């Protein structure tokens, strides 16, 4: 069976999408399923990428991951590219703006690969951007519940 390839996407790839990437990786590692998935994250913007080098995970996001026993060492922001569409099975955005920008970058979604994380939970809301809210605890809880629901969806598909 081919690995399921997931790309988590947010605006800058320094808060929400890397949190989702590493939370999802932690969940599948604890369940012994790392060999069934390829998991990455990216940005719709280039705001956190300078001269081709992305910024590391935003310190408060890194801190909340660390407090929950999750490392994101070495992660740097990268931008989503059109070529990624054929490389991944799922593109999971954090909010409506991410979804809109993913459609632009990926030139629509003929295979239905683009989804919003909280849709898997059933709330259909956005994951609040902690860059603006400063509330990384709420974002962590939302992302964790979204990642668990996404995994349930994928395992029961």
Catalytically annotated residues: 10, 16, 129
Asked whether the beta carbons of 28 and 114 are under 8 A apart, the reply is no
What element of type H or E holds 19? helix 16-30
- CA angle, 152 as apex, 68 and 21 as ends, to 5°? 40
Q: Name the DSSP class of 79.
A: B
CA 14 to chain CA mean position, Å: 10
Report the C-alpha gap between 14 and 72 in whole angstroms: 11
């Amino acid at each position: 069976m081919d690995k399921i390839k997931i790309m988590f996407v947010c605006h800058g790839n320094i808060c929400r999408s890397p949190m989702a990437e590493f939370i999802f990786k932690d969940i599948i590692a604890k369940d012994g399923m790392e060999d069934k998935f390829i998991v990455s994250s990216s940005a719709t913007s280039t705001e956190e990428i300078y001269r081709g080098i992305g910024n590391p995970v935003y310190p408060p996001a890194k801190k909340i991951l660390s407090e929950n026993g999750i490392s994101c060492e070495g992660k740097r922001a990268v931008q989503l590219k059109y070529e990624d569409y054929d490389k991944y099975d799922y593109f999971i955005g954090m909010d409506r703006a991410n979804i809109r920008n993913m459609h632009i970058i990926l030139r629509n979604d003929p295979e239905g690969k683009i989804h919003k994380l909280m849709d898997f939970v059933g709330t259909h809301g956005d994951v609040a951007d902690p860059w603006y809210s400063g509330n990384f605890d709420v974002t962590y809880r939302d992302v964790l519940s979204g990642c668990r629901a996404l995994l349930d969806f994928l395992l029961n598909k």
